[in-house]
Amino acid sequence: MITVAQSMVQELQHEAQTTRRVLERVSNDKLQWRPHPTARSLGELAMHIAAVPGAVAELASTSPVQVPEFKDRTLGNAAELLPILDDSIARATRIVGGMDDATLAADWQLMHGEQTIMKVPRVAFLRSVMLNHWYHHRGQLSVYLRELAIPVPSIYGPSADENPFG
C-alpha cells in the first residue's frame, strides 16, 4: 500500500516534469520583463518556481516555525533555473519521502513571535503551499510566456502552441 508521503512525492516528481518544460522556455533576454510594476519580473517568478518545493519542504520539516523572511533570489542567467529546480525537487523528495503518516498528520505551526498565524496538519501545509502554490505560480509563468510571444508548452493537455497528442 502506498503511503501519503509516497503519493505526494510521486505527484511532485510528475509535476516537476511539466514545470521543467515551462522553465525551459524562460528567455535570458526577457528576465527583467514584468507585466505590471508591482508584479515579479519573469526572472524573479521563474526563480521562485524553481525553488519552491525544496524551500517549502524544509520549512515543513520543523514546527513551530517563525515566519521566514521571504526574499526572491536573484537570477543571473536563465541557465541557472533547471539546476535549481533539480536541487529543489531532490530536497523535497528526500524530506517529504522521509516523513511517515504520523508526521504528516501532525499539526504544523507558523508563528509570528508568540502569535499563531497558521496551524494545520503538515500534509495540508505541504499540499497547499508546496504543491498548489507551486502550480499557481507555474500558471502565472505560462501567462508571462504568452504575453512575451514565447510558445507555451503543454501543461495538462494541448496549449495553443503545443499538442502532445497530435
pLDDT per residue over 27-42, tens digit each?
999 999 999 999 999 9
Axis-axis angle for helices 42-60, 4-23 (nearest 10) = 170
Residue of 57, 123, 49 whose CA lies nearest to 81: 49
**What integer is the mean pLDDT of 12-37?**
96
* Euclidean distance between CA atoms 161 and 33, whole angstroms: 21
C-alpha grid cell for residue 161?
502552441
Q: What is the residue-averaged pLDDT of the chain?
A: 95
pLDDT at 109: 97
Residues β-bridged to residue 161: none
Residue 75's pLDDT band (boundaries 50, 70, 90)? Answer: confident
**Number of neighbouring beta carbons within 10 Å of residue 118:** 17
Is residue 166 pLDDT above 90, yes or no?
A: no
Percent of residues, the chain, with pLDDT higher than 70: 100
* Euclidean distance between CA atoms 34 and 45, whole angstroms: 9
pLDDT per residue over 50-67, tens digit each?
999 999 999 999 999 999
* Residue with the three cell numbers 536573484: 74
Residue 151's pLDDT band (boundaries 50, 70, 90)? Answer: very high
pTM: 0.94
Residue 101 in contact with residue 4, Cβ under 8 Å? yes
* Euclidean distance between CA atoms 71 and 5, whole angstroms: 28
* Euclidean distance between CA atoms 39 and 37, whole angstroms: 6
Query: CB neighbours of 90 closer than 8 A, spacing ≥ 6?
Result: 54
Is residue 72 pLDDT above 90, yes or no?
A: no
Residue of 107, 138, 102 whose CA lies nearest to 12: 138
Is residue 21 pLDDT above 80, yes or no?
A: yes
Q: Specify the 3-state DSSP secondary structure of 111.
A: strand
C-alpha grid cell for residue 36?
505590471
List domains and CATH numbers for the chain.
4-147 (1.20.120.450)
